[in-house]
């Protein structure tokens, strides 16, 4: 087994299409991988293909996901200190904003 995988403060804004197992942040949590941790991530791109998901395409291992959102399901609650509200209505990660530098 490969070690655990942590994705932190990542995002996708582009369209992704494929024939199968397509994800906005990760395509598949492979069976040989340890636990997958996804934190402070978002996807607002269009995702298409069989076995597709806006954050994860196919879940084959335990997943821990927190403070994440997608275009189809923008959370209206508190996403935590990692995000700020941007003019276009979608939250973005603080480090992406010129105003927070």
Query: What does the DSSP assignment read for 54-83?
Result: SSEEEE-S-EEEES-EETTB---S---TTE
Least confident of 18-22, 25-29, 68-72, 80-84: 80-84
In this prediction the pTM is 0.71
User: Quick check: 36 and 53 in contact, CB under 8 A?
Assistant: no
Classified as helix, coil or strand, 22 is strand
11/39 Cα distance (integer angstroms): 10
Q: 52 versus 87: which is more confidently predicted?
A: 52
30/2 Cα distance (integer angstroms): 10
Average pLDDT, integer, range 77-81: 58
As a whole number, the mean pLDDT across the chain is: 79
């Amino acid at each position: 087994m490969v070690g655990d995988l942590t994705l932190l403060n990542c995002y996708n804004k582009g369209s992704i299409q494929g024939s199968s197992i397509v994800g906005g942040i990760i395509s598949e949590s492979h069976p040989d991988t340890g636990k997958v941790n996804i934190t402070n991530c978002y996807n607002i791109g269009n995702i298409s293909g069989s076995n597709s998901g806006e954050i994860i395409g196919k879940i084959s291992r335990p997943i821990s996901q927190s403070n994440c959102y997608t275009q189809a399901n923008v959370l209206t609650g508190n996403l935590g200190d990692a995000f700020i509200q941007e003019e276009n209505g979608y939250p973005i990660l603080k480090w992406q904003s010129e105003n927070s530098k």
